[in-house]
Amino acid sequence: MSIQRPGKLFSSKWAEYDDRFNIEDTGADYQNGRADIEKGFPKQTMISTLKGGVPPWGQDHNGILYQITEAIQWIQTGGLPSFNQDFCNKNNGYSKGTIVQGDDPNRPWVLWQCLEDNNRFNPNQNKVNIINPQNGWIQYPVISEREGNTLYYNDDGKMLIASPTVITEVYVSSTEGSDNTGDGTRNKPFFSITKAISVTPDGRGHYCLFKIWGYI
pLDDT at position 4? 79
Nearest CA to 20 among 50, 61, 52, 51?
61
Burial class (CB in 10 A: 0-12, 13-18, 19+), 199: middle
**Side-chain-facing half-sphere of 47: CA atoms under 13 Å:** 13
Distances (CA, A) of 130 to 109, 151, 156, 162, 190: 17, 9, 18, 8, 31
132-148 pLDDT, tens digit each: 556 788 877 756 555 56
The 10 Å CB-count burial string (b at 16+, else e) for 129-165 is beeeebbbbbbbeeeeeeeebbebbeeeeeeeebbee
Instruction: Let me know: does 121 contact 96? Beta carbons within 8 Å.
Output: no
pLDDT at position 132? 52
144-193 pLDDT, tens digit each: 555 566 666 666 666 666 665 556 678 888 888 899 999 888 889 888 88
Query: Which of 2-6, 61-65, 209-213 has the weakest average pLDDT?
Result: 209-213
| For residues 54-83, average pLDDT | 94
pLDDT at position 67? 96
* Better pLDDT: 197 or 28: 28
Domain ranges of the chain: 11-79, 85-162, 169-213
Question: Residue 15 above 90 pLDDT?
Answer: yes
- Residue 123 has φ and ψ, to the nearest 5°, of -65, -20
pLDDT at position 129? 47
DSSP 53-102: --PPPHHHHHHHHHHHHHHHHHHHTT---B--HHHHHHTTSBPTT-EEE-
Distances (CA, A) of 139 to 4, 152, 161, 177, 193: 30, 7, 13, 41, 36
| For residues 38-48, average pLDDT | 94
Helix (H) or strand (E) holding 112: strand 111-114
**DSSP class of 104:** -
pLDDT at position 50? 93
* Better pLDDT: 22 or 153: 22
Looking at domain 169-213, its CATH architecture is 2-Layer Sandwich (3.30)
Number of residues that make up the chain: 216
pTM of the model: 0.60
| For residues 92-103, average pLDDT | 91
pLDDT at position 205? 45
* Better pLDDT: 18 or 150: 18
On the question of a cis peptide bond just before residue 141, with omega within 30 degrees of 0, the verdict is yes
Question: Residue 6 above 80 pLDDT?
Answer: no
Mean residue pLDDT across the chain: 82
Q: What percent of the chain has pLDDT over 70?
A: 75
Question: Residue 88 above 80 pLDDT?
Answer: yes
| Distance of alpha carbon 41 from the chain centroid | 35
